[in-house]
Chains A and B, each alone.
Chain A
Amino acid sequence: MKDTYQTGVLGEQAAENYLCGARGMRCLARRFRARCGEIDLVMTDGGTVVFVEVKTRKSGAPGSGLVSVNAAKQKRIAQAAVYFLMSRHWLNKPVRFDIVEITPAGINHIQDAFQPGGMFYA
């Protein structure tokens, strides 16, 4: 259990380093928690707020982590994102949802991975 947790934390750090370095983003929050859900990383990319879900896998092929970000997970992330945006009065900012997958093969960054649509728009 401890092991899994640490894997997650290490992965999130690696993802943050990657996004800040290679992609030139800035980190706004780590492990943002709301009652309705949790977001691993909140970044800004130019003027866009980017909510990042990080999936770390110690084994397995690239892509196996992506599958686990299913509709229910997306919904939780989107709800937490709305909470984050509201708390900062940022609802009119451009928003994007990314997934970063870390596997033994390397880092896989998927921009605009999903679009939660209008139902969470406050």
Chain B
Amino acid sequence: MNEIISRTLSFGVSGVNGFPVHVEVFGINGMPGMEIIGLPDVSVRESRDRVNAAIINSGRQMHPRRITINLAPADLKKEGPSFDLPIAVGVLTANGELIPSADYDPDTTAIFGELSLTGEVQPIRGALPMVISAKEHGVRNVILPAQNAREAACIEGITILPVSHLREVIEHLEGKCPIPPQSQIPFEELRNNVAPAADMSQIKGQLGARRALEVAAAGGHNMLMIGVPGSGKTMLARCLPGILPPMSFEEALETTRIHSICGKLNSGGGLMVTRPFCAPHHSASVASLVGGGQNARPGEVSLAHNGVLFLDELPEFSRSVLEALRQPLEDGVVSVNRVKNQAQYQSSFMLVAAMNPCPCGYYGSKNRACRCTPNEIRRYLDRISGPLLDRIDIQMEVDAVPVSEIQQSGDAEPSSSVAERVREARTVQMNRYRGTGLHSNAQLKNQEIRRYCRMTSEAEQLLRAAVESMHMSMRAHQRILKVARTIADLDHQETIQAQHLAEAVQYRELDQKYWS
């Protein structure tokens, strides 16, 4: 036992993708010590001490030898404590403390996990992207922390071996006590046991806003709610994930991937089946919203991928933050570039914004007088730039609910039946746009609008009259058509009729009232 080298396969994460990392351990006689090379960050370098303690606490010996650990490829930065477990296995093998059975193939078995000093295996971030990448690289078995097992259990064609202590890993690799594999969790099964956070049956009154919410959900339109304090804007927004169509397997995978990287998944939870609802505070920085920081982490817009980004008190957000939203709103992706790394994160979300009509909050209210000067109101509203407003298809005024309606007993229509109508409208859209790369009416561009938004002559006349009387821009005109398309879809009509168009025009009236 003079010079021994061992190789263990693990995975790292860069952006949203995993990449293979070979943990090579070289043990030689000489000045005892342990050195980790291959661009480790601090948390990887510290794994030396965790591994040391964990091995001793698993009842194995650490031999005083000179040990070099190389994380190949050597030119990619390795971060996070997920290399603890492969390093421990490598050190044990290189020291001859662990003699793997013939069943262990180091090229098709990937290992990742963080170790505690006692040898327990702790959950890691980014388990899902790592397992996906492992599968792409021909890995057949994955040894990972038990708390991450459910998250990875939806990937087919790969055996997940959950572990909770280093001892289990050692005994498994020696062939003494094989780890029972995690059984696959079918996506449908996960999807069946979800309870939405907020239900529309709890919303009293607000018929107009309920309808606007339904239209927004049906067409994937961005939405702005303007209303007095306490009128229920936040409550309405919270209901949105519950009426959106359920996530497809691909969508769930994309969203879970991003949440996995950020370590935002519930431990022991599987794939995310409910659409995310992100409500960042208005003090949020650009980096926290669109992603960034030293290591280019995903921001709130990416966490809201395939879900809802709710910005309460829109004018209170800093100007730079709001302007930074333009790229993700337009393209559904953000590219984050930093000196150290760069990454592209998907961020296709529905924007729902809420704001007061003026600083004091009561401009236009029926019940209370506004204390603001016209100048104050204008300055407040001007914090929202035209280009941002342009990207919001539906605007809605939400007024306080009258006392008589608050005290009314009985529930309003529940989310489930609204969701059913939304789902039908989405199916109509999916069939119509099959093969065009589009998914919803909100994504229509100039040419497609002309092609898909056919209307009756009556509707055409109405539109012309509205455009003229309200001095609408070309863009506003197009957005009316898109929303009208969605309303017609909800109504199961192939051609847009006058009443659909009339409703769509309503969702633009605030342009006139506030921003003209």
Contact = CB atoms under 8 A, between A and B. Distances in A.
23 contacts: A91-B30, A92-B29, A94-B29, A94-B63, A94-B65, A95-B29, A95-B30, A95-B32, A96-B32, A97-B32, A97-B64, A112-B64, A115-B31, A115-B32, A115-B33, A116-B31, A116-B33, A117-B31, A117-B32, A118-B33, A118-B35, A120-B31, A121-B30
Contacts of B34: 115, 117
Interface string A33-47: 000000000000000
Interface in B137-168: none
Contact of B31 (A48, A112, A121): A121
Contact of B35 (A48, A96, A117): A117
B33 A95 contact: no
Contacts of B28: 92
Given A92-B2, A96-B64, A112 B32 contact: yes
Contacts of A121: 30-31, 66
Nearest to B30: A121
A38 B63 CA distance: 25
Interface string B15-45: 0000000000000111111110000000000
B35 to A, nearest CB: 5
Interface in A69-117: 78, 81-82, 91-97, 112, 115-117
Contacts of B2: 92
Size band of the B side of the interface?
Answer: 10 to 19
Contacts of A115: 31-34, 64
Contact of B32 (A91, A92, A116): A116
A11 B66 CA distance: 30
Contacts of A112: 32, 62, 64
Contacts of B32: 95-97, 112, 115-117
A25 to B, nearest CB: 15
B33 A117 contact: yes
Interface centre among B33, B34, B62 (most CB of A within 10 A): B33
Interface of A: 48, 78, 81-82, 91-97, 112, 115-118, 120-121
Given A92-B28, A117-B34, A118-B66, 14 more contacts: A81-B31, A94-B29, A94-B30, A94-B65, A95-B29, A96-B64, A112-B62, A115-B33, A116-B31, A116-B32, A118-B31, A118-B33, A120-B31, A121-B30
A37 B48 CA distance: 28
Interface in B44-62: 62
Interface centre among A94, A112, A116, A120 (most CB of B within 10 A): A94
Nearest to A94: B29
Nearest to B3: A92
A7 to B, nearest CB: 29
Contact of A94 (B33, B35, B62, B64): B64
A58 B65 CA distance: 34
Contacts of B66: 118, 121
A95 B63 CA distance: 10
Contacts of A95: 29-32, 64
Contacts of B35: 117-118
A30 B2 CA distance: 28
A14 to B, nearest CB: 24
Contacts of A91: 30
Interface string B432-460: 00000000000000000000000000000
Nearest to A92: B29
Nearest to A50: B64
A75 to B, nearest CB: 12
A92 B28 CA distance: 8
Contacts of A93: 29-30
Contacts of B68: 118
A78 B68 CA distance: 19
A117 B29 CA distance: 12
Nearest to B62: A112
B51 to A, nearest CB: 13
Contacts of B33: 115-118
Instruction: Report the 6 A-B pairs with minimum CB-CB distance, sorted nearest first.
Output: A117-B33, A115-B32, A94-B29, A96-B64, A115-B33, A112-B64
A120 B35 CA distance: 13
B57 to A, nearest CB: 16
B8 to A, nearest CB: 21
Nearest to A78: B31
Contacts of B63: 94
A120 B32 CA distance: 10
Contacts of B65: 94
